[in-house]
Amino acid sequence: MSCLTRQEMKERRIGVLLGGFSAEREVSLKTGEASLRALQELGYDAVAIDVQENLPEQLKNASIDVAFIALHGRFGEDGRVQGLLEMLQIPYTGSGVLASSMAIDKVMTKQFMLFHDVQTPKFDFMRADDSSSDLLKRCNNKLPLVVKPSREGSTIGITIAKSLEDLRTGIGKASTLDGTVLLEEFIDGAELTVSVVNGVVLPVIQIVPKGGFYDYQAKYLSGDTEYLLPAPIDQEKNREVQEIAIKVCQMLNCRGAARVDFMAREGRLFCIEVNTIPGMTETSLLPKAASAAGITFVELVEMILLDADLDK
């Protein structure tokens, strides 16, 4: 591992990669702008790069030495940008190519969890060439189900299917966003999330959306979500969920900041997914958890930056 010291980093030009062209562009812009302000406040020579299809040319023109990746979703959080940066020998924040490409794919992540004996909701999936009618037959008697594209975040394209018609609609909606559609057992319970930064686990948050479902609207627009911090769970369960979060991050070889999402029902924990570039907006969960641990937003951003490494 070849990370730079704070002084060495201050002598280098930091490019904050934000925006991009995934379905999560607007969230990424907010994450990137907040991170850029924090870096500049700390005295770093940091510039914004709104990622476009000519990213290699953008990187060359910006003359950056280190990339702070604030991209969400595909073409940013899925290993492709990470691979480009490695080819250009530009150190970058966050997880490497393999961890990023694995974690962005919810189906692959869940299969990996099962291999490592991490409990996750039962699931089925459909690839682009598979028959949707066969999938409907398999899943019709398993409702309700959560239907979502396998490689999107921020609950984009998600449907809670309570009927066969909902299931058809949800599969159609999800398949317009990704070639792989995930159908997951609906867990009616408490939603928990655990952030991990540079191998350090942060306090557990329970998410309580007033509408009953933590969708894109509840996350970023309405403000009608309550965040219980610390989560109202007993000490043993708190320790267990944090240990699973660490285990999942280690098994995927995540780096920098990551967030692991869970559902809890009748004392059982179900790991849902791993986010390798968690949001850093004013409503995001990672900064909330860091604050509860006594870490300010600017300190959090610097912790992520100083973990930047080319040799993932």
Residues with catalytic roles: 24, 154, 220, 259, 261, 273, 275, 279
Task: Please name the amino acid found at residue 140.
Answer: N
Structure tokens, 23: 């379905």
Structure tokens, 95: 């997880």
Q: How many residues does the chain have?
A: 312
Distance CA(126)–CA(181), nearest Å, equals 5
Is the Cβ–Cβ distance between 260 and 274 less than 8 Å?
A: yes
Residue 225's contacts (CB-CB under 8 Å, 6 or more residues apart) are 207, 208, 209, 210, 214, 218, 219, 283
Structure tokens, 64: 């950056």
Structure tokens, 220: 């970023």
Is the Cβ–Cβ distance between 156 and 216 less than 8 Å?
A: yes
